[in-house]
């Protein structure tokens, strides 16, 4: 460091400033600049009634009485109104504040050496209207939810002296926005503050104010638009030098291209210099498999004949083409299938999004590790660091304006704001190759919606670097490059028990071809996989920041009140296993659909609002849940997935299993002479049958048919869960499905002295009291229960949707002797469909605290209840085995029901039937409706 630089540093340290010569970090910064950090302790005051704005000729109020640390928020500082009420709807924000807040920093020393330069304040992310003053003079008003706020303070700075900087940050409902995830209480919250880089920056009077790069893959070049700022309108001449280097982020630089210079001249306050830079014959391409990046280093020199000016900066870009081919997306002329995650801006520690590269790399790497290749930012735009991390990971980002409203066309000022906001987003982040898709926002409504969106599309398409959809969810507007549409899902919003997983047992013949036939552009299905698991209360201690998990504590206390807190972990694991089973089938249904474009998963992590939705396979902190690994989940939605088309998955040994094998390949290349092998195995790994399909080429994109599978099941003697596996020889690519096989004929049970009853009446009641053994197969219609018999898990959450399904599958002990002849895991799987759907779950809250059903249903965490399908107990002198499954009614058509009935009959008629729990006859009475 030079002597002059050392003296500046010493002066700044003495006066409370922090010098920074250039932005540093894990990811390369953009501009080598002279800058002063504004991070530190600021004076502070809330202004909820808006009384502190000075009018013309007046002075500011005296020094603000409180202090706060920036970067940061009022929540982090404990400023605002302390929350009094806990809620089960969402995480609880401890210190809420919406309105104006004042921030002031005195003794900001501006070096004398900066005299003659242009001086700017740069705030990376402020929430979300900022007015700025320097030395008592207003220097501007900026408003954005997505991009940095910048103020030209050149004319108000005192050089070589101390300066006072004051901000008024307003997070009130400026436009009455409340649902967008940029401000919603359900997600990052409507925080007040400033985060990320806070700097005063110095530039020469002529500088490179903006650089936009437009790679041309086929032309092997990049078009460069350099916007020069020349506010004094000097007549200048100069040159811009550019050198590019490129390579994969995981390796050393592979390409070093020559330095080239481009002359320019101009006298306007702002003018654009455009030119093309050749990338050579061997262009490195960017995609999810090889995220090659180029670093473009710019150096500008200019002169007006009297003064000289210089500027340096750098930009990162990637060479890739996003396009469409009919109903398929393509990247670099290769078919692309989106496997996306929805990011809804959940950051419970800070209440606002991180701005550092390492944290975004961690978050996005989880998405990649779990098999995803894209991330949709639901009605918000992330900071720069997210794009930088995605660039290096090879993730395709769908960015959205912060728009989720029902008033489009009614507030012209707000419509105009979103037009400008989109332009700011393109300018700020458009060079990033990961910035693949853009739309206006989520599920848009309003009287002027369609004209507004059509005008938006026309504006956006002036930038060719991205693909565009008018909106996510709806509407589908002509002119969109693709549709992000909510229709093709197994469980649509408020569909209740009419959803696909609740109307019939599993078959894998189903796909969404009917939807694809109706469109001419790629169809990305909107917010799929919303299957929940029971919350993990062990995560409560991880909430160490501004948002508190009182919702989880309410759920936990509800479970404690029902004397089932000891089952919380089992509920979590069993429902989680079932959640993954449902997500797997949902993924495959999209892979099975010819010409489909992809999906976005809502979501890989838990959602902490809107009634609380534990939909993730990682928690809200992106930490893994224990019931599925990243490797297992990645295999379910990998780049190459074998598929099975089958009419059913429960068979008898008098039948021949038949199915059709397929495979999809969305990898980086075609597979030549690929051979898929199959095997059907017993639970202990023994092979029952195996075989293979003829070797064939497996191209990228279309579904490849491999052939049929026909397996006689007559050699399987006992009821068993088999595993059918398809594997691609010589690779780690495989997929597997459970196939349940039951005996076609079962021996007729001799029930002996067991009283087999179909209804609970006075006779059965008395015989039980007198000491009889009773097997009660209750008529579900007679059970007094308000619990609908939904097979699937809860979609999103029952509170927010207001409709069933409102259970999370079964919990049982597979080793219980009642289930000895019925093959099952401890959690729900597809063979349980008949058992659950043709039942009336029994509400058992009135039973003793430690009483547990043989087969229990996992409750809605918002409504914890003890629910069962099969129970056993001592009643009076007798013994009772009872089920509310309609076994008699469906046994003729359901081999599963016959097997369950057989297992229960053997148990109740055997010597081992000796229940230990006791129920009173009045407790049994209460299970039935009175006439």
* Amino acid 663: pLDDT: 98
The mean predicted confidence, pLDDT, of the chain is 94
Does the pLDDT value for residue 32 go beyond 80?
A: no
* Over residues 629-641, mean pLDDT: 97
Does the pLDDT value for residue 726 go beyond 50?
A: yes
Q: Where are the alpha helices (DSSP H) in 550-663?
A: 550-561, 568-591, 630-636
Going by pLDDT thresholds of 50, 70 and 90, the confidence category of residue 27 is very low
* Over residues 139-167, mean pLDDT: 97
The full DSSP string for 155-171 is GG--TTEEEEEEEEEE-
pLDDT tens-digit readout, 570-613: 999 999 999 999 999 999 999 999 999 999 999 999 999 999 99
* Amino acid 86: pLDDT: 84
* Amino acid 245: pLDDT: 95
Q: Which residues of 708-717 are buried (b: 16+ CB within 10 A; e: fewer)?
A: ebebebeebe
Q: Contact 235/205 with Cβ under 8 angstroms?
A: no
* Amino acid 52: pLDDT: 77
pLDDT tens-digit readout, 260-279: 999 999 999 999 999 999 99
Does the pLDDT value for residue 15 go beyond 90?
A: no
**9-23, 93-107, 332-346, 538-552: segment of lowest average pLDDT:** 9-23
> How far, rounded to the nearest angstrom, does the alpha carbon of residue 661 sit from its chain's CA centroid?
31
Distances (CA, A) of 42 to 103, 128, 164, 202, 236: 6, 18, 11, 22, 41
pLDDT tens-digit readout, 457-501: 999 999 999 999 999 999 999 999 999 999 999 999 999 999 999
Going by pLDDT thresholds of 50, 70 and 90, the confidence category of residue 253 is low
The whole-model pTM stands at 0.94
**Who contacts 312 (Cβ-Cβ below 8 Å, separation ≥6)?**
31, 32, 297, 298, 299, 300
pLDDT tens-digit readout, 391-407: 999 999 999 999 999 99
* Amino acid 243: pLDDT: 97
Host H or E run for residue 661 = strand 656-665
* Amino acid 776: pLDDT: 98
* Amino acid 33: pLDDT: 64
Does the pLDDT value for residue 381 go beyond 90?
A: yes
* Amino acid 121: pLDDT: 98
Going by pLDDT thresholds of 50, 70 and 90, the confidence category of residue 251 is low
CA–CA dist 919, 925 (Å, integer)? 11
> How far, rounded to the nearest angstrom, does the alpha carbon of residue 339 sit from its chain's CA centroid?
11
* Over residues 737-760, mean pLDDT: 95
What phi and psi, each to the nearest 5 degrees, are found at residue 705? -80, 130
> Which one, of 812, 644, 830, 801, lies nearest residue 736 by Cα?
644
Does the pLDDT value for residue 163 go beyond 60?
A: yes
Q: Contact 921/761 with Cβ under 8 angstroms?
A: no
* Over residues 241-249, mean pLDDT: 91
* Amino acid 620: pLDDT: 97
Q: Contact 449/403 with Cβ under 8 angstroms?
A: no
Does the pLDDT value for residue 7 go beyond 50?
A: no
Does the pLDDT value for residue 23 go beyond 70?
A: no
pLDDT tens-digit readout, 661-719: 999 999 999 999 999 999 999 999 999 999 999 999 999 999 999 999 999 999 999 99
Q: Tell me the percentage of the chain whose pLDDT exceeds 90.
A: 92
pLDDT tens-digit readout, 610-629: 999 999 999 999 999 999 99
* Amino acid 174: pLDDT: 83
């Amino acid at each position: 460091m030079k002597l002059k630089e050392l003296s500046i540093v010493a002066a700044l340290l003495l006066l409370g400033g922090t010098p920074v010569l250039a932005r540093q970090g894990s990811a390369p910064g953009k501009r080598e600049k002279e800058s002063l950090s504004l991070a530190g302790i600021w004076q502070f005051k809330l202004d909820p009634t808006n009384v502190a704005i000075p009018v013309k000729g007046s002075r500011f109020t005296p020094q603000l009485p409180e202090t706060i640390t920036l970067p940061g928020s009022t929540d982090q500082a404990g400023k605002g109104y302390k929350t009094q009420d806990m809620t089960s709807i969402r995480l609880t924000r401890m210190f809420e504040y919406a309105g104006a807040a004042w921030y002031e920093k005195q003794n900001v020393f501006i070096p004398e050496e900066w005299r003659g330069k242009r001086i700017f304040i740069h705030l990376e992310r402020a929430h979300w209207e900022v007015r700025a003053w320097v030395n008592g003079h207003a220097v501007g008003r900026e408003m954005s939810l997505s991009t940095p706020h910048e103020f030209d303070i050149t004319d108000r700075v005192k050089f070589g002296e101390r300066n006072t900087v004051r901000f008024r940050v307003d997070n009130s409902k400026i436009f009455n926005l409340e649902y967008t995830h940029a401000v919603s209480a359900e997600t990052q919250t409507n925080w007040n503050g400033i985060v990320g880089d806070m700097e005063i920056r110095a530039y020469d009077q002529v500088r490179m104010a903006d650089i936009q790069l437009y790679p041309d893959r086929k032309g092997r070049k990049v078009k460069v638009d350099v916007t020069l700022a020349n506010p004094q309108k000097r007549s200048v001449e100069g040159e811009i030098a550019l050198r590019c280097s490129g390579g994969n982020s995981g390796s050393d630089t592979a390409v070093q291209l020559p330095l080239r210079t481009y002359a320019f001249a101009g006298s306007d306050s702002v003018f654009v210099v455009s030119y093309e830079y050749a990338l050579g014959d061997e262009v490195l391409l960017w995609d999810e498999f090889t995220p090659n990046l180029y670093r473009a280093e710019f150096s500008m020199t200019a002169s007006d004949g009297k003064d000289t000016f210089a500027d340096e900066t750098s930009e990162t870009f990637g060479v890739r083409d996003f396009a469409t081919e009919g109903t398929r997306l393509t990247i670099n002329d290769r078919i692309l299938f989106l496997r996306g995650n929805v990011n809804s801006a959940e950051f419970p520690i800070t209440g606002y999004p991180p701005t550092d590269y390492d944290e975004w790399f961690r978050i996005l790497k989880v998405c990649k590790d779990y098999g995803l290749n894209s991330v949709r930012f639901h009605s918000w735009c992330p900071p720069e660091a997210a794009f930088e991390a995605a660039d290096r990971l090879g993730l395709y980002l769908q960015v959205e304006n912060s728009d989720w409203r029902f008033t489009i066309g009614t507030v012209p000022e707000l419509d105009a704001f979103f037009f400008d906001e989109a332009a700011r987003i393109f300018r700020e982040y458009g060079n990033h190759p990961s910035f693949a898709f853009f739309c206006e926002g989520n599920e848009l409504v309003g009287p002027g919606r369609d004209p507004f969106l059509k005008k938006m599309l026309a504006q956006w398409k002036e930038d060719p670097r991205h693909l565009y959809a008018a909106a996510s969810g709806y509407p589908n507007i002509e002119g969109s490059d693709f549709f992000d549409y909510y229709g093709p899902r197994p469980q649509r919003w408020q569909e209740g028990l009419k959803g696909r997983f609740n109307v019939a047992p599993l078959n894998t013949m189903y796909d969404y071809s009917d939807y694809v036939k109706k469109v001419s552009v790629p169809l990305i299905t909107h917010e799929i996989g919303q299957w929940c698991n029971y919350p993990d209360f062990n995560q409560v201690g991880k909430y160490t920041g501004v948002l508190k998990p009182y919702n989880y504590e309410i759920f936990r206390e509800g479970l404690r009140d029902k004397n089932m807190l000891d089952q919380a972990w089992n509920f979590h694991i069993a429902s989680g296993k079932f959640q993954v089973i449902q997500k797997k089938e949902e993924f495959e249904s999209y892979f099975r659909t010819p010409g489909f474009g992809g999906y976005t998963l809502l979501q890989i992590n838990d959602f902490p609002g809107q009634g609380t939705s534990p939909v993730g396979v990682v928690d809200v902190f992106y930490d893994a849940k224990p019931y599925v690994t990243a490797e297992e989940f990645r295999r379910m939605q990998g780049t190459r997935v074998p598929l099975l088309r089958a009419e059913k998955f429960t068979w008898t040994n008098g039948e021949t299993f038949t199915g059709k094998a397929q495979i999809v390949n969305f990898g980086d290349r075609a597979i030549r002479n690929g051979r898929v092998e199959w095997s059907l195995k017993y639970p202990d790994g023994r092979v029952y049958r195996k075989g293979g399909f003829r070797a064939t080429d497996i191209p990228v994109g279309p579904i490849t048919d491999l052939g049929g599978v026909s397996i006689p099941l007559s050699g399987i003697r006992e009821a068993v869960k088999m595993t059918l596996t398809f594997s691609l020889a010589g690779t780690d690519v495989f997929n597997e499905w459970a196939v349940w096989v039951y005996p076609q004929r079962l021996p007729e049970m001799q029930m002996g002295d067991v009283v087999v009853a179909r209804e609970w009446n006075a006779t059965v009641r008395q015989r039980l009291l007198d000491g009889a053994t009773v097997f009660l197969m209750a008529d579900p219609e007679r059970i007094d229960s308000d619990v609908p018999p939904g097979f699937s898990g809860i979609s999103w959450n029952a509170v927010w949707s207001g409709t069933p399904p409102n259970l999370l599958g079964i919990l049982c002990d597979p080793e219980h002797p009642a289930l000895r002849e019925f093959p099952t895991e401890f959690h729900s799987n597809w063979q349980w469909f008949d058992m659950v759907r043709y039942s009336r779950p029994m509400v058992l809250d009135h039973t003793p605290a430690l009483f547990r059903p043989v087969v229990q249903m996992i409750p809605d965490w918002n409504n914890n209840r003890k629910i069962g399908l099969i129970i056993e107990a001592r009643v009076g002198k007798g013994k009772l085995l009872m089920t509310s499954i309609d076994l008699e009614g469906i046994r003729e058509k359901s081999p599963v029901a016959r097997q369950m009935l057989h297992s229960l009959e053997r148990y109740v008629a055997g010597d081992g039937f000796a229940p230990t729990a006791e129920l009173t006859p009045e407790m049994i009475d209460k299970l039935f409706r009175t006439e």
